[in-house]
Chains A and B, each alone.
Chain A
């Protein structure tokens, strides 16, 4: 996310008239600073050598928290849960949303309008309402809440984002590409595998990353359906009243680093695909 916005930032005009203030440049940088400063604070305070429970004032530099990153087994477990749930959500929402997006973009069928409506309502419905709804559904169906109900819920609210991303890509695709593959002797399945899927890959990747980010980040819906399972955001919220340990900043920093890495990899691959 961050890497993308930085890259698409408008570049200053090559030549500037003398004495004319280039407001565009300052505004751009102000926006970037504004967007990045909370993350910068999180990173900086992961190095804060605090003595008490509260990680609020700068007290000196230390790498202590990185060495003891996994000092709280509960926190570690919560992070592992969150990552697992996010990866599962990404995979499931990727497959379902990909197929949904392909169907919506490529074909006209009965119930297309209804599908659109359901998809957008899943995006626009308040999370509290969705969380409460999901919880009462699980209770009614007698499903014990926990790890898997979190996964199901996360897939449910992120699948629309993948579908919309993929559909946009499908609509932009030249339909003769698939005809060309058929014409050259590829079966329907081979055409999908060698032409359609690679063409949709960037959209699937983008959609999958959105699903991952939405999942690892989610607090509200997760509280409703988590049962005894604790995720990273739930654990952090639980500690805010008693003082959040710097390990949270450490893990936040690591997650952020992985996110940036994925975004960079995606950008590089998109560039290589030309």
Chain B
């Protein structure tokens, strides 16, 4: 298509410019904010945000649509100008640098493959813009095709490929440039569930192989938990929590995070008994919730408990113990083969009823378990009652 090589100056933030050092974050956002103006109204898409993404990290921006995650990524790529703040790539200020001069590459949600070019020309596009010699272009594109398992498909037009294949071409087209960071905007959104799960593992493998920083935008918490080293959970233009997947899941920093990551079972009450770092509050007339917290008697606490931490009993468990015990009525049973999901209506007294979700593994045998309408007892350890920050 275009054999002419145009040599461009080295992009800002390229490895040659700043010597790679593990201390310098691959991407740094310093007080970055973005406001959109629609008519007379100003809408804050991203509130003042500070983020540091380390080199070689798989970092996810997770949140519902409209939370500002895509805008944040587009500011890193250079498609949106921040209203305030500084964007740094490997330490270099790129806030006012055009996208074609930034050493990051993006995988678009729609893939944005050039339909009039072959797969080979698509992948070679970035290299040719940099004036990479013809032989090296051929070699590196070949390597990329191999990496994404599309060897021999170089002459195909993208329109003749399946969604999964196009996805991999888009990935190869970005990765072949060896950017200091790869930005992925919901890249698996258009794929069906099976393919999406396969691609999640594939993406993680590729990221490990090439060792490039990945910034992954998604609204799918499962995707983020599966692949990420760290996750930033965003809501209404701000980062609500930043941490590794386990921490985000086990110790959500807010109601929003608890609800957005997996199913959250929320219970709240006034502490009626506190001793030895253990606080208890009643749930209904017979139930007691216990949490490992230093809260004093009379304080109101809200806890969340993950569905898989709860044990389901058909009769009241024996002994006093330090575990939470709450009775309820099964209102829904969803059999999933390897597991069963129960929804249990719990009487929490003063605040009226609430529903808790319980996941049980079907490892015991052929027992049918409780049915809809059965009275059951829920039980979990105090360490699994995670107290939400007030």
B11 adjacent to A185 (CB under 8 Å)? yes
Minimal Cβ-Cβ distance residue in B for A191: B100
Contact among A183, A186, A199, A274 for B106, CB-based, below 8 A: A183
Q: Does A194 contact B (CB under 8 A)?
A: yes
Whether A194 contacts B2 by the Cβ 8 Å rule is: yes
The interface size bin for chain B is 20 to 34
Hey, which chain B residues are within 8 Å of A184, CB to CB? 100, 105, 125-126, 129, 173-174, 177
Q: Say whether B110 contacts A174, CB under 8 Å.
A: yes
Query: Contacting A185 at CB < 8 Å: which of B113, B114, B130?
Result: B130
Asked if B335 is at the interface (CB within 8 A of a chain A CB), the reply is no
A198 touching B116, Cβ below 8 Å: yes
Q: A181-B125, A183-B77, A190-B129 are in contact. Are A176 and B110 (CB under 8 A)?
A: yes
A62 in the interface, Cβ–Cβ < 8 Å?
Answer: no
Also in contact, A185 and B112, with CB within 8 A (given A179-B79, A274-B159):
no
Interface residues of A in 188-202 (CB under 8 A from B): 190, 194-195, 198-199
Q: Is the CB of B105 within 8 A of A183?
A: yes
* Residues of B contacting A182 in the complex (Cβ-Cβ under 8 angstroms): 78-79, 98-100
B102-140 contact mask (Cβ, 8 Å, vs A): 1 or 0: 001110111011111000000001100110000000000
Taken residue by residue from 71 to 95, chain B's Cβ proximity to chain A (1 for < 8 Å, 0 otherwise) reads as 0000001110000000000000000
- B6 interface residue per 8 A CB criterion: yes
Chain B residues with CB below 8 A from A51, complex form: none
Contacts of A177 in B (CB 8 A): 112, 114
Count chain A CB atoms within 10 A of each CB in B11, B98, B129, B177 and give the residue with the most.
B129
- With a cutoff of 8 Å between Cβ atoms, the chain B residues found around residue A273 in the complex are 115-116
* B108 engages A274 (CB within 8 Å): no
Given contacts A174-B112, A179-B108, A183-B77, contact A190 B6 (CB under 8 A): yes
| CB contact under 8 A between A186 and B112, given known A180-B106, A274-B157 | no
Q: Is there a chain A Cβ closer than 8 Å to B1's Cβ?
A: yes
Looking at B79, B105, B125, the one whose CB has the most chain A CB atoms below 10 A away is B125
Q: Which residue of B lies closest to A185 (CB)?
A: B129
Residues of chain B contacted by A274 (CB below 8 angstroms) = 115, 157, 159-160
Contact A186 B129 (CB under 8 A): yes
Q: Measured between C-beta atoms, what is the minimum distance from B281 to chain A in Å?
A: 52
Residue numbers in A under 8 Å from B109 (CB-CB): 176
The verdict on A187 contacting chain B, using a C-beta distance below 8 Å, is: yes
| Assembled-state Cα–Cα distance A186/B1 (Å) | 15
Cβ-closest chain A residue relative to B130 = A185
The answer to whether B112 and A179 touch across the interface, beta carbons within 8 angstroms, is: yes
A274 vs B177: C-alpha distance when bound (angstroms): 27
CB distance from A19 to the nearest CB of B (A): 42
With a 10 A CB-CB cut-off, give which of A177, A181, A183, A195 has the most chain B CB atoms.
A183
Tell me the smallest distance from the CB of A197 to a CB of chain B, in Å: 10
Report B-chain residues with C-beta under 8 Å of the C-beta of A198: 116
Encoded as 1 (CB less than 8 Å from any B CB) or 0, chain A from 162 to 187 comes to: 00000000000010110111111111
> Are A185 and B108 closer than 8 Å at their CB atoms?
no
- The CA-CA distance from A126 to B85 in the complex, in Å, is 58
Give the distance in Å from the alpha carbon of A261 to the alpha carbon of B116 in the complex: 23
User: How far is A273 from B115 in the complex, measured between Cα atoms in Å?
Assistant: 8
Residues of the B chain whose Cβ atoms lie less than 8 Å from the Cβ of A186: 100, 125, 129
Contact B126 A185 (CB under 8 A): yes
Whether the Cβ atoms of A180 and B100 lie closer than 8 Å is: no
Among B135-174, those with CB < 8 Å from A are: 157, 159-160, 173-174
Q: Is B210 an interface residue (CB 8 A)?
A: no
The interface residues of chain A lying within 8 Å CB-to-CB of B100 are 182-187
B371 within 8 A of A: no
**Cα distance A243–B2 when bound, in Å?**
55
The answer to the question of B311 belonging to the interface, with a C-beta cut-off of 8 Å to chain A, is no
Q: Tell me the smallest distance from the CB of B343 to a CB of chain A, in Å.
A: 41
Whole-angstrom distance from the CB of A110 to the nearest CB of chain B? 15
B18 within 8 A of A: no
When the two chains form their complex, are residues A185 and B157 in contact, meaning their CB atoms are under 8 A apart?
A: no
Q: How far is the CA of A199 from the CA of B157 in the complex (A)?
A: 14
Contact of B8 among A176, A180, A185 (CB under 8 A): A185
Which B residues are in CB contact (< 8 Å) with A181?
114, 125
Residues of A within 8 Å of B8, CB to CB, are: 185, 187
Task: Give the shortest distance, in Å, between B12 (CB) and chain A (any CB).
Answer: 12
Within 8 A of B (CB), among A9-61: none
Task: Judge whether B110 and A179 touch: CB under 8 Å.
Answer: no
Judge whether B130 and A195 touch: CB under 8 Å.
no
Residues of A within 8 A of B77 (CB): 183
For B129, list chain A residues within 8 Å (CB). 184-186, 190
List the A side residues contacting B99 at CB < 8 Å.
179, 182-183
Q: In chain B, what residue has the closest Cβ to A180?
A: B112
Q: How far is the CA of A179 from the CA of B110 in the complex (A)?
A: 12
- Whole-angstrom distance between the alpha carbons of A274 and B115 in the complex? 8
Give Cα distance in the complex from A198 to B1, angstroms.
Answer: 11
Q: Which of A176, A184, A186 gathers the greatest number of chain B CB atoms within 10 Å?
A: A184
From A176, A187, A190, contact of B112 by CB (8 A): A176
19 A-B pairs within 8 Å (CB atoms) are namely A176-B110, A179-B79, A179-B99, A179-B108, A180-B114, A180-B173, A183-B99, A183-B174, A184-B125, A184-B129, A185-B100, A185-B129, A186-B129, A187-B100, A190-B6, A195-B114, A199-B116, A273-B115, A274-B160
Given contacts A177-B114, A190-B129, 16 further A-B contacts (CB under 8 A): A174-B110, A181-B125, A182-B79, A182-B98, A182-B100, A183-B77, A183-B100, A184-B129, A185-B8, A185-B100, A198-B116, A199-B116, A273-B116, A274-B157, A274-B159, A274-B160
Across the A-B interface, the 9 shortest Cβ-Cβ residue pairs:
A185-B129, A184-B126, A176-B112, A180-B112, A176-B108, A182-B99, A274-B157, A198-B116, A182-B100
